Amino acid sequence: MKRATLLLSMLLLALAAGPAFAGSRLAIRLVEANNRGGGVAGELGDVAELLKGNLPFNTFRLISAKSMALPAGGEVELGRGFRASCEGPQRGLTIRVTRDRKPVLNTTVELADGTPLILGGFPIDGGKMILVLLAQ
């Protein structure tokens, strides 16, 4: 009995510690990154350390923020000629990005609730455009 209780407790702990996959919304942000100035826009405060710590830029500016229901099944206009098409659940989310109707990214990702994922590095004048995805 004691052993069964211990095993059940360990299983529940392992499940609680693992990534969560029950988000109902997908947040998509298009961010311009460059080295012209410095700083992270206030709207990016929740991912500021992730951006500054992993990308070779000192300026991050939010271009647009969109969202859609999960499982995804739609397309959003992000600005500057970028569009994102998302299909499927967060454990197998297919993302297609185009710029001026030309494909620039086609990938499938797995998103854990509350853990942002950075995609892209699409060249622009003196910097890059990146996507920040977040399942909520």
Q: Which of 18-27, 51-60, 110-119 has the lowest mean pLDDT?
A: 18-27
- Assign 38 a pLDDT band (cuts: 50, 70, 90): confident
Give the pTM.
Answer: 0.82
Pairing mode, strands 127-135 and 117-124: antiparallel
Every domain of the chain and the residues it spans: 22-135
Would you say residue 101 has pLDDT above 70?
A: yes
How far is the C-alpha of 121 from the C-alpha of 1, rounded, in Å?
55
Long-range contacts of 108-111 (CB under 8 A, 24+ apart): 109/133, 111/21, 111/23, 111/26, 111/135
* pLDDT averaged over every residue in the chain: 87
